[in-house]
Structure 1
């Protein structure tokens, strides 16, 4: 069964520059995404409870977005953090894109909700 791309949006009270630091650096990602994060040559090493997963940075643009691909995952799947602005409210919006089996999207979305709440706590939101 193939996975499908899904998108989640989270309004955040924070400047794009500060938010981008939390999405694209080992120190920032280590605050909310994983227990331990290291980076060498565009490969990020994410650690949770003693297990590690590696992800390469496929693409990034300062203060706009960063796209990762798990090294042990399919070539055409990725997860991405992008920073958008609402044209109506001028509010910063964190956009998360990820892949999951259709029946797992709800559970994966809840996991992202939990992770992003931790990020917002670190940002003082």
Structure 2
């Protein structure tokens, strides 16, 4: 079994927290920058994240309006159900600089940290273009 690692990154975004929050918490907002498509399965309230014709199911396990959203991926074949992969997107405001930051926490078995950082950098570029920030 592959050991999971926690990736953490902070990204400055020139937009208000109130404007950004739907982009980190709703299926429609996430579909604009995070995945090729994001849908909600109304039967079991899971989020369906689609990337390159691959679909992963996740549950939104925690959120606080205008602060953060956390999604836990449902275990796939052979994955440890007691140690699920997750990602958390947290909006933070720096009083000193009056800047908004998106803090990313990505707990997964992705083994190449540099490639994972490049992936998140690309996603943040897409989010910047989407929100104009």
Query: TM-score with structure 2 length normalisation?
Result: 0.85
Q: Secondary structure at the match of 1:32?
A: coil
Counterpart of 2:53?
Answer: 50
Alignment map for 1:109-124 (pairs within 5 Å): 109-124=117-132
Contact 1:100 1:108 in 2 (8 A): no
Alignment map for 1:23-102 (pairs within 5 Å): 23-39=24-40, 40=42, 41-72=44-75, 74=80, 75-76=82-83, 77-100=85-108
Query: TM-score with structure 1 length normalisation?
Result: 0.90
Distance 1:42 1:87, change over 3 A: farther
| Corresponding residue pairs, total | 125
Listed one character per residue, the Cα deviations across residues 3-43 of structure 1 (whole Å, up to 9, x for unaligned) are 22121000111111111100111111110111111113541
Distance 1:79 1:49, change over 3 A: same
Q: Secondary structure at the match of 2:92?
A: strand
Identify, as 1 or 2, the structure richer in helix. 1
How far, CA to CA, are the matches of 2:109 and 2:23 in structure 1?
Answer: 27
- The CA RMSD over aligned residues, in Å, is 1.8
Residues 73-82 or 30-39, more deviating: 73-82
Distance 1:37 1:100, change over 3 A: closer
Give the superposition deviation at 1:2: 1.6
Listed one character per residue, the Cα deviations across residues 68-103 of structure 1 (whole Å, up to 9, x for unaligned) are 111125443311000001132021100000124585
